[in-house]
Amino acid sequence: MPDVSFQVEMAGDVPVVAAPGDIDITNAAALRTALLEAAGRGRMFVVDMSRTQFCDTAGIHALVAAHKRAGDDGSEVRLVVTSATVLRIFEITGFDQVVSCFTSLDQALAAP
């Protein structure tokens, strides 16, 4: 497996994790680590999936773990999703009913 890591960048006081083009078994564990780190940094964090075109079950599991961690900490995860394919996967699994999805980082940061 390749050595993959994801940085948690800050947009003001909000942690933002930029997801890769494909999220699958090869990088989901590293993404999960970054998401759990971001979840512990404040009242909200954003996963920028604007480049993501594919997300398999390993990726969904990483996102669910981050959502649970955020809830346990009293914070919220927001997703930036632009791919119709990824949005469809979230619709089929019901994940779009659990986590707020936005079409841009600005929208995710500005939402109440």
**Could you give all domains of the chain from N- to C-terminal order, each with its CATH number?**
24-106 (3.30.750.24)
Confidence label for 3 from pLDDT (cuts 50, 70 and 90): low
Confidence label for 5 from pLDDT (cuts 50, 70 and 90): confident
- Provide the pLDDT for residue 4: 72
State in Å, rounded, how far the first CA of the chain is from the last one. Answer: 39
Residue 76's beta-bridge partner residues?
44
Which H helix or E strand runs over 107?
A: helix 105-110
Work out the burial of residue 30: count CB atoms within 10 Å of its CB; fewer than 13 is exposed, 13-18 middle, 19 or more buried: middle
The reported pTM is: 0.93
Name the residue among 51, 49, 48, 56 with its Cα closest to residue 89. Answer: 56
Mean per-residue pLDDT, 75-86: 97
Residue count of the chain, please give it.
112
pLDDT digits (tens, 9 = 90+) for 23-55: 999 999 999 999 999 988 889 999 999 999 999
